[in-house]
Amino acid sequence: MIDLSNAKVDEEYILSNGYVATTLLVTGDAVVLGFVGVTIMANMSGETLHANGGLSVSAKVDQRPWLKDMPDAGIFTDDAVELLITSHGNWNVNLIDGGKYQTHGIKMPTLTSDQWKDSKISIVELAQWQKDNK
């Protein structure tokens, strides 16, 4: 099972049958997902709320698979706040005081242009993702 309490419309989740479903609607206590012409409703712990072959929501599709290729969050300076990629493909590190520097010399993942919009990540979020996904 999975915690769906932070689910958002248009996110993708993997169902127990292996299909990928898209979130269509999120209410205070349920999520409606659609896949292959079928709509299912699940509670916030991923269990379906109606008889639908015992389906459940098993995992969220990782929209940022490149995170696994990021360097350890601990290498960035203490005043680093977030990372993001520019339209030129350069990674910038934004600092607490509003300054920034580029990550020249640090091996960073190369993103496609459609991944740039999802590239902004705080150093704290990166560290947590790395801790959770070791």
56 and 85 in a single domain? The answer is no
Q: Which pLDDT does position 71 carry in this prediction?
A: 92
Number of structural domains found in the chain: 2
75 and 112 in a single domain? The answer is yes
Does 6 fall in a domain? Answer: no
Helix (H, G, I), strand (E, B), or coil: what is residue 24? strand
Q: Which pLDDT does position 78 carry in this prediction?
A: 85
Report the phi/psi class of residue 9: left, alpha or beta, with left for phi > 0 and alpha for psi in -120 to 50.
beta
Res. 25: pLDDT tops 90: yes
69 and 106 in a single domain? The answer is yes
Of the candidates 125, 118, 108, 99, the residue with the CA atom closest to the CA atom of residue 8: 118
Structural contact between residues 103 and 65, judged by C-beta atoms closer than 8 angstroms: no
87 and 123 in a single domain? The answer is yes
56 and 101 in a single domain? The answer is no
Of the candidates 79, 88, 134, the residue with the CA atom closest to the CA atom of residue 111: 88
Residues 43-61 have pLDDT tens digits of: 888 888 875 667 788 888 8
33 and 90 in a single domain? The answer is no
Residues 61-81 have pLDDT tens digits of: 888 888 989 999 998 888 889
95 and 55 in a single domain? The answer is no
The parent domain of residue 25 ranges over 12-60
To the nearest 10°, report the CA torsion of 117, 122, 126, 127.
180
